[in-house]
Amino acid sequence: MLDGQDGIQLYAGSHISGLLNALGPGKQHVRLIGPSDMTDVPAAFNVRLNGKMAALRSLISLRCALAPLARDHQFVFDQLGWREKFIAGRGKPLCLDQDYKNIYLAYEEFFRQGGYTLIPQRASMPTSSIKNAVIVPGSRVRSKVIPAPVISTIREKLLLNGISTTVLLIEGEPIDVPADVKTVILPRFFNLLIEALRESDLVISADSLSAHLGEFLEKPTFVLNNAPNSYWLPKSAYLTGANATFSELVPFSNWLSSIA
């Protein structure tokens, strides 16, 4: 968090309007861009799924939305490839320091260099006995969805520590879940997902939005992925090693022992 927001404006696709409304405080610092009826990540960020023409249309839409600001603003991107340069148009695109192995640390250093004072985030640690955990296996990237055998293994480890487990699925997700695991299917509303995470003591998530929401809600959060991907981890998961691949779950056992 930053002490004061002067000079900073966050721009985001209009598809996250529901998320902003669910989060509440802080949304006044976010300006939505893109078509008002956009319900998913801009097509340019998933060309394989949406096709080249849809991707091109979304790029043009984003560039037009930022064009009025290009003369007076510097645009900061987490990476600076052809896509970001096109979106920036005549603006002055900057890129985060790529030497950092985690995006949160890269942003923190960027703001420090800009003279901003950072407010330390409270550590995500349990404040009472741990009774329940949620596993959120879904991801919009199919290869990142937590497989059923991994869900079973994680659940068994939690049960050995006296922790009940619920799997959270979002309506319409074609995800295989073991038959003996309690499963809740949530309608596609951000506020329902946030409330379910808020009521849990632990969050075990695929490499997806739920992992970052877990940290935002100050819940101990562990991230499972098909391959190491430290750059996009929540900050606490990166700093404490609260992450593992599907094929190597020893880090999860160690993490669970340390907090339970």
Do 137 and 248 fall within a single domain?
A: yes
Structural domain for 149, as ranges = 132-259
Mean per-residue pLDDT of the chain = 87
* pLDDT of res. 126: 57
Q: How many domains does the chain have?
A: 2
> Do 108 and 137 share a domain, yes or no?
no
Q: Is residue 147 part of a domain?
A: yes
Measure the CA–CA gap between 183 and 58, rounded to whole angstroms. Answer: 36
Same structural domain, 143 and 250: yes
Question: Within this chain, do residues 158 and 210 fall inside the same structural domain, yes or no?
Answer: yes
For residue 40, pLDDT over 80 is answered with: no
Please tell me whether residues 182 and 89 are part of one structural domain: no
Q: Which pLDDT belongs to residue 137?
A: 97
User: At what angle are helices 190-198 and 209-216 packed, to 10 degrees?
Assistant: 50
Structure pTM? 0.87
> Considering 52, 79, 113, which residue would you say is the last residue of a domain?
113
Instruction: Tell me, yes or no, whether 103 and 166 share the same domain.
Output: no
pLDDT (tens digit per residue) in 102-159 = 999 999 998 888 888 777 666 555 556 889 999 999 998 889 999 999 999 999 999 9
What is the per-residue pLDDT for 118?
Answer: 74
Q: Is residue 123 part of a domain?
A: no
Residues 102 and 144 both lie in one domain: no
- Same domain for 101 and 73, yes or no, is yes
Residue 238 in this model has a pLDDT that exceeds 80: yes
In a domain, 1, yes or no: no
pLDDT band of residue 3 (cuts 50, 70, 90) is very low
Q: Check: CB of residue 101 under 8 Å from CB of residue 238.
A: yes
Q: 27: pLDDT confidence band, cut at 50, 70 and 90?
A: low
pLDDT (tens digit, 9 = 90+) per residue, 194-214? 999 999 999 999 999 999 999
Evaluate if residue 193 carries a pLDDT over 70. Answer: yes
pLDDT at 25: 64
* Residue 124 belongs to some domain of the structure: no
Closest CA to 193 of 39, 38, 1, 18: 18
* Element holding 195 (H helix, E strand): helix 190-198
Q: 2: pLDDT confidence band, cut at 50, 70 and 90? A: very low
CB-CB contact of 5 with 27 (8 Å):
no
Q: Can you give the CATH number for the domain in which 203 is found?
A: 3.40.50.2000
For the segment 23-52, the average pLDDT, to the nearest whole number, is 76
Token readout for 74 is: 């510097």
The whole-number pLDDT of residue 11 equals 80
- The pairing of strands 132-136 and 202-206 is parallel
Give 45 or 160, the one with higher predicted confidence: 160
Give the pLDDT confidence score for residue 18 in this predicted structure.
Answer: 84
* 97 inside domain: yes
Confidence of residue 6 (pLDDT cuts 50, 70, 90): low
218 and 138 within one domain: yes
What's the CA gap between 172 and 216, in Å, rounded? 25
- My answer on whether 99 and 181 are in the same domain is no
Residue 228 lies in a domain: yes
